[in-house]
Structure 1
Amino acid sequence: MASISPVTVEIIRNALQSAAEEMNASLFRSAFSPVIYEMKDCSVGLFDEQARILGQSAGLPIFLGNLEVCIQTAIEMYGLDWFRPGDVICMNDSYMTGTHLNDITVFSPVFHEGELVGFTANRAHWLDVGAKDPGMSTDTREIYQEGIRIGPTKIVDAGVPREDVIDLITRNSRFPVAARGDLNAQISACRTGERRFLAIIRRWGLDTVRAACAEIFAQSERLDREAIAAIPDGTYFAEGCLDNDGVSDEPVWVRVTVTVQGSDITIDLTGSSPQRPGATNCGLAQTISACRVAYKALINPDAPVTGGTFRPLRVTVPPGSIFAAEEPAATTWYFSHLGLLIDLVQKALAPAIPDRVAAAHYGDSMVVTFVGHDPERNAPFFNLEATVGGWGAFEGGDGQDALINSVNGDFRNLPVEVLETKYPILVRRYSLRPDSGGPGRFRGGTGAVREYELQADGALYLWWERSRCPAWGLMGGGDGSPPQVIVWNPRADGSWEEVRVLKANGLPLRRGAVVTCMTGGGGGYGDPFQREPARVREDVLDGYVSREAAARQYGVAIRPDGQIDEAETARLRAARG
């Protein structure tokens, strides 16, 4: 193949990236559901004819690592001749896509002068797909309780919408109008990507675009292999556990072995729990995606993902485990053990690259859902939120405070103003959670407190995790605080019932009930007694650390006037030895 100008390569690289960004804008600007247009629970990608990624927008990393698997699955099932210009395909089967059934994947082929040249794809979370409970249940035992299950299915055939199929899919949602609106938004995003991809081909020519993509892939692989080769060869191990699977109280174990050999890296999950009766299971595709997220966090994290990015990575997964679940395993809460996996890869590699890893973060989406009937609108309401927490500290910096978890990337929690406008819910408090970040020379990020008051009768669904295995510190840093949820429910006699719970499936709430959600903090990095007293003082003044914790955890005494008590600080630090 003839050489191609590096200038042309960069122009085409950025053009493909811009096409993906426009796809994403089209999706969330035309979606019907707040979980998409406000919270950005969606991702898009542009792919070549072999389903290798060409461009992607910011979105959920856990989605972007495996959209191509959906395309490849359809190709394996039906062959390339199945695709025709104008087609749009929809699917959500958990064992194919890897995620839960609420995540609807939509993709379409792109043809240029009669030749298949690529695909556009996106995935978005639908509020409801017909599970046994509204939205997502926390106590499912098999996939048949979780909603409609769709293999690769044409919803637009050669440009003609298949209204019977679309009706079948949307009719299985408790919110069919929103489902159809969100589906149309996903179709629109595919069409936007198709138009932009074809415009790039028409401007530069198909041969030039393909040559540029081949060079982009080669660059990505070359840079990644250089970064991996700088890691000392060896085999590294870490393990941790989830609290439970939602139907039993037994921990769910994740065991990670990372092997670095030359410029290759292998992540082996042998020894992790077999698939569980509850919903902490996922398909293989999503496990590979999570491993890619962990890999990308350490290997050239600033470089864009391309079709050449993950060539040095191998993933070994035991069949029938929580990471490669088989029918009829439940999969609703597929991401909890994946977030733990991502943290454990960094923990495993900490001895080899201590200056490049971070302590653990709070670790899970910490989903809170309210459902009920809104008397003012005389209509059902459904509000689902992922919440933010503290991230782990690292060499050279404190952990981020109140940030969304690693699997969710660009995902946002719902703005208070939107929540209170659309639902009979009052947000009484939204603040940082003092003393939740793990102490260290670099402090772990703080969790958040979000307190709700219901203005109507309803029910509460919770999936909160990592109380048994909260965010650990590294290099002498302390652990972050585990999560807590406290429910105050009014009784008929005027008294209050207090319930402390992390997982709940349809817990009845009366009007006036208050739910206080406190997310975990991130782990600290390094000996906390080596943190500069002036920085500890700043943390106290900013409300991240209390005066009591400053003395106990950091050996720094802060007087009531906010100044450092130098003598007492010296005594505290000397007393530890």
Structure 2
Amino acid sequence: MNQANYDPITLEIIQNALQATSDEMFAALRKTAMSAIIYEVLDAGTGVTDAHGELASSGAGIPAFVGVIDKTVKAILREHPHESIRPGDVYATNDPWYGGVTHLNDMVIALPVFAGETLIAWTAVIAHWTDVGGMAPGSVSPAAREIWQEGLRLPAVKLFEHGVPIDSVLRIMKANSRMPDYLEGDLWASIAAVRVGERRLQELAAKYGTDTVLEAIRQYLDYGEQITLQALAALPHGRWSIAEEQDDGRVFKATVEIGPDHFTIDLTDNPDQDEGPNNSSVDGSTIVGQMVLKNVTAPQGVCNGGSFRPLRVLTREGSIFHATEGAAMGIYYEQEIRIYDVIMRCLAESMPERLPAGHFASICGTYLSGRHPDTGRDVLIVEPEIGGWGARHGADGINALYSAFHGDTFNCPAEICEARHGLLVDAIALNDEGGGHGAWRGGKGLKIDYRIRYEHGTVTCGYTRSKFPPWGLAGGGEGTPNYIEVLRRDGTRERYAYADAVPLVAGDVVRVVTGNGGGYGNPAERPRERVLADLRDGYISPREARDIYGLR
């Protein structure tokens, strides 16, 4: 059928239905998941690809997760001959070199969607599973030196054959987890979600015809490219470079080149891969580039595989942003958010009226484990933390929001932490440390006190921006660092940014402190009435009002 014969209104209805399908999959996952990291924090993502693995629609959840889905489907298609893929099959991967992209906790479940005998699409879900084995509770340890220490690898394996579970694979997965009931619950929630997506896509094909659905997807991808190209044409064009020292002494470098039809990010001149778990896969670095591209072009516009056709991300194999197979990957997220922040800083300093100052820019992953004092069950809280965002021209930074990597996700409520995980949450308050001063002030991070009730427990964490705080812009001041403190019941204190299974006992307090964002503009230019309001609301101290803002 000729393209001109397709009704454009029908095609748009189908395209909107693709987006609704991804969102419905996310709702199904959230309502049925076992782990609070999924149903409360929403540490997950959903999407639909075309038959070849190009992202057709992106659902709710973490942007860096949604970016995994197309890469997963393409890996499955590489590993499994087309003739072996049948209706009712379900695939699983968590391996960074087989479409898993991130680390082993992030499990992707993908399902091929057929209309009759024709493979028309894939539905997929990615979610953080609490424990998949390895050397440490939660499967993440700063001490890991190879991926085999981090848990069970599933290299794009078939989980269901023609609608029937492959029992041996399911048993292996459960046997390798410290929390098999949570693993099984999250698995079936993921399967329910991809099946919801399958049903909706088959309904579309039955209603409008397979050819029409395939044409709608094809045109939707082309439309995504058109939106990006229109935005690129309106951006400043040129080439910019940056080098930034990190907390551990390494220097991360990036060069960005923007033209009317291309957006290139060069990460080749970066350190060799880490001996520990601080690495990113090449696909993960590509997702960083995709997020930057959307941020500076059309953040509110359509997001699909076509959106990223003008993007090119260059890496060097064997570097921290293109680790070779076997490298530990548990804390991949800190490296990716670090280079994301470096690239955004490079562009913000070149386009200060378009982009904000630096935010706390860390996942601040916090892992608390022990035995629930009321139920006797082994429990593990996996908690990314929220912090302060940078100010921008014309507006103060946002208080207590997840990092730019997290998208529209939430912190775990105190009630869930206490009931499900056996902790006491003594306090949650805005970070009262100074910093982030400017004509527009940086947003505030948080201070959270978790009081331990376990007879014996541990805390593991991996925070960056603990030495070099968020950067100010256009004369604004730096923000404040991220860190945790362990307040011992005997009155002593210990401070950490990276910690591996630090022992805890009942009565100890783990204090999480997330940074305040950077400021924008000269603090002397902040209007007097705003300074007075900041002083009244406790955002600044009398000394800061006097010495930094000149209030007399």
Q: 1:411 aligns with which of 405, 409, 412?
A: 409
- Higher mean C-alpha displacement, 234-243 vs 479-488: 234-243
- Give how far 1:351 is off: 4.6
Distance 1:102 1:387 in 2: 17
Q: Does 1:126 align with 2:124?
A: no
- Give how far 1:90 is off: 0.5
Indicate the residue corresponding to 1:101 in structure 2.
Answer: 104
Q: Do the aligned partners of residues 75 and 541 (structure 1) sit closer, same or farther apart at CA in structure 2, a change above 3 Å counting?
A: same
- Give how far 1:284 is off: 0.9
Distance 1:310 1:400 in 2: 28
SS across alignment from 2:72:
helix
Contact 2:229/2:261 (8 A) holds in 1? yes
Q: Do the aligned partners of residues 374 and 430 (structure 1) sit closer, same or farther apart at CA in structure 2, a change above 3 Å counting?
A: same
Indicate the residue corresponding to 1:459 in structure 2.
Answer: 458
TM-score normalised to structure 2 length: 0.96
Q: Do the aligned partners of residues 252 and 537 (structure 1) sit closer, same or farther apart at CA in structure 2, a change above 3 Å counting?
A: same
Contact 2:373/2:453 (8 A) holds in 1? no
Q: Give the letter for the 1:464 counterpart.
A: Y
Contact 2:53/2:74 (8 A) holds in 1? yes
Q: 1:535 aligns with which of 517, 526, 530?
A: 530
Indicate the residue corresponding to 1:204 in structure 2.
Answer: 208
Contact 1:241/1:468 (8 A) holds in 2? no
Indicate the residue corresponding to 1:335 in structure 2.
Answer: 333
Aligned pairs for 1:176-575 within 5 A: 176-244=180-248, 251-457=249-455, 458-490=457-489, 495-555=490-550, 557=551, 568=552
Distance 1:375 1:453 in 2: 13
Distance 2:70 2:435 in 1: 37
Q: Does 1:115 align with 2:118?
A: yes
Distance 1:407 1:421 in 2: 28
1:218-249 CA distance string (max 9 Å, x none): 222122112112223221112324423xxxxx
Q: Give the letter for the 1:411 counterpart.
A: T
Distance 2:304 2:325 in 1: 32
Distance 1:196 1:115 in 2: 16
Q: Give the letter for the 2:406 counterpart.
A: N
- Give how far 1:435 is off: 4.2
Contact 2:349/2:473 (8 A) holds in 1? no
Distance 1:352 1:240 in 2: 15
- Higher mean C-alpha displacement, 93-102 vs 280-289: 93-102
Distance 2:73 2:387 in 1: 34
Indicate the residue corresponding to 2:88 in structure 1.
Answer: 86
SS across alignment from 1:36:
helix
Distance 1:182 1:229 in 2: 44
Q: Give the letter for the 1:304 counterpart.
A: V
Indicate the residue corresponding to 2:174 in structure 1.
Answer: 170
Contact 2:134/2:149 (8 A) holds in 1? yes
Q: Does 1:146 align with 2:150?
A: yes
Distance 2:474 2:7 in 1: 46
- Higher mean C-alpha displacement, 545-554 vs 457-466: 545-554
1:117-148 CA distance string (max 9 Å, x none): 11001111111111101002122111111001
Distance 1:499 1:435 in 2: 18
Contact 1:436/1:446 (8 A) holds in 2? no
- Higher mean C-alpha displacement, 107-116 vs 222-231: 222-231
Indicate the residue corresponding to 2:51 in structure 1.
Answer: 49
Contact 2:227/2:301 (8 A) holds in 1? no
- Higher mean C-alpha displacement, 205-214 vs 107-116: 205-214
Contact 2:280/2:321 (8 A) holds in 1? yes
Distance 2:169 2:434 in 1: 49
SS across alignment from 1:235:
strand
- Give how far 1:181 is off: 1.1
- Give how far 1:353 is off: 2.7
SS across alignment from 1:256:
strand
Q: Does 1:70 align with 2:72?
A: yes
1:416-464 CA distance string (max 9 Å, x none): 0111112221111101112455111211111101011112231111212
1:325-360 CA distance string (max 9 Å, x none): 013211000011211222222221235432211111
- Give how far 1:378 is off: 1.9
Contact 1:170/1:180 (8 A) holds in 2? yes
1:475-532 CA distance string (max 9 Å, x none): 1111101123221213xxxx33211112211111121001211101111111121111
Distance 1:533 1:13 in 2: 50
Q: Do the aligned partners of residues 116 and 339 (structure 1) sit closer, same or farther apart at CA in structure 2, a change above 3 Å counting?
A: same
TM-score normalised to structure 1 length: 0.92
- Give how far 1:304 is off: 2.3
SS across alignment from 1:95:
coil
Runs of 5+ in structure 2 lacking a partner? none
Contact 1:437/1:446 (8 A) holds in 2? no
Q: Do the aligned partners of residues 240 and 352 (structure 1) sit closer, same or farther apart at CA in structure 2, a change above 3 Å counting?
A: closer
Give the % identical residues.
Answer: 36
Distance 2:538 2:276 in 1: 39
SS across alignment from 1:452:
strand
Distance 1:103 1:403 in 2: 22
Distance 2:487 2:352 in 1: 44
Q: CA-atom RMSD, angstroms?
A: 1.5
Distance 2:548 2:364 in 1: 27
SS across alignment from 1:57:
strand
Q: Do the aligned partners of residues 374 and 27 (structure 1) sit closer, same or farther apart at CA in structure 2, a change above 3 Å counting?
A: same
Q: Give the letter for the 2:79 counterpart.
A: M
- Higher mean C-alpha displacement, 339-348 vs 174-183: 339-348
SS across alignment from 1:545:
coil
Q: Give the letter for the 2:214 counterpart.
A: R
Distance 2:36 2:245 in 1: 32
Contact 1:266/1:314 (8 A) holds in 2? yes
4+ runs deviating over 6 angstroms: none
SS across alignment from 1:28:
helix
Q: Give the letter for the 1:2 counterpart.
A: Q
Q: Give the letter for the 1:217 counterpart.
A: L
SS across alignment from 1:185:
helix
Distance 1:480 1:43 in 2: 30
Contact 1:64/1:289 (8 A) holds in 2? no
Aligned length: 547
